[in-house]
Every structure is written in structure tokens, then in C-alpha cells.
Amino acid sequence: MLVRCTTIDVRTLEARHGTGSLWFSQAGSVALRPGKSYLVFAVVVHGGTTLVYLIDEDETAYPVPYPAELFAVVDPRGPEFACVFDQYEQSGKTELEVRFSFVEWAKDRLFYERLIDGETEAVEVFSRRRIELETYEARSR
């Protein structure tokens, strides 16, 4: 899936999501360029918020979550992804999360945390899947 950044209006994001969210830089802005297209590695819906995970302008080794309202879908196609509806208990309440990604991420609620923590298996899986997704996207042009 390919999305295009349509806005980086930080005021709208602050009002809806707060300033402590992952997608804010130290300067209070986002590391995105309006008009640029980004490859999506996962879509996660949790607590009423839909996040797309992509490599932003900071070019970190792992994808960063951004609110979906910053983007328009350019190309909904992609290689085989899995979709998982996951219910779990957290702080005494039942949570529901929907994950749409490659199967290793979709089926493992803690995959992203393991990836950003640098766990070897998660990093290797992501590296392999990133190459597959980038290759697929390049061939689709």
C-alpha cells in the first residue's frame, strides 16, 4: 500500500492526539513532506485511532506510526498481508486492536515493540519483509 502525505498540520494533531505522541519531532513538527508518497508497512486500529506505519523523513531503521488522517491512499495494492482482530486485557479492561500487515506483525501484538527494542528475530523479519515490500512497490510502477 502506498499513501501520499496530504497535510502536516501539527495543530490538528495536537488537538486530537496530544503532543507526547511518537510522530512529533523535538521541534514539534512531523518528519513528513506534503505531497510525498510513502510505503505502508502496517495499519493498526486501536482506541479509535487508525495509524499507518511507514519510514518517514528521519529514515529510522523501523517504521513510525502516524495518524491515517495525514494521508490519502495512492495505491491500495500490496503483497499478501494478514488482518488480525486481537482482544486482550490491559489495566483491567478489554482492548481491541486490528492489525493489517505482513503475517509476523499481524499475528504478534508485541512485534513492533520487539522491533524498536532491536530484538534480533524481529529486526531480521522486518528487514526481509521491507525488501519484499519495496521490491513489490518498485515493480508495480
> pLDDT tens digits, residue range 83-130?
888 888 888 888 889 999 999 999 999 999 999 999 999 999 999 999
In this structure, how many other beta carbons lie within 10 angstroms of the beta carbon of residue 97? 15
- Give the helix ranges, DSSP H, for the chain: 10-17, 103-106, 111-116, 120-140
Report pLDDT for 132.
92
Instruction: Give me the domain span that covers residue 60.
Output: 2-140
Domain count for the chain = 1
| Chain mean pLDDT for the chain | 87
C-alpha separations of 55 from 62, 76, 84, 134 in Å: 7, 17, 22, 11
**Is the pLDDT reported for residue 23 higher than 70?**
no
Report pLDDT for 29.
67
pLDDT band at residue 46 under the 50/70/90 scheme: confident
- 111 burial (CB, 10 Å; 0-12 / 13-18 / 19+) is buried
What is the mean pLDDT of the segment spanning 5-23?
67
List all residues 6 or more positions away from 65 whose beta carbon is below 8 Å from its beta carbon: 22, 23, 44, 51, 52, 53
* CB-based contact 100:106 (threshold 8 Å): yes
pLDDT band at residue 39 under the 50/70/90 scheme: very high
* CB-based contact 115:42 (threshold 8 Å): no
23 vs 6, more confident:
6
**Is the pLDDT reported for residue 63 higher than 60?**
yes
Report pLDDT for 47.
81
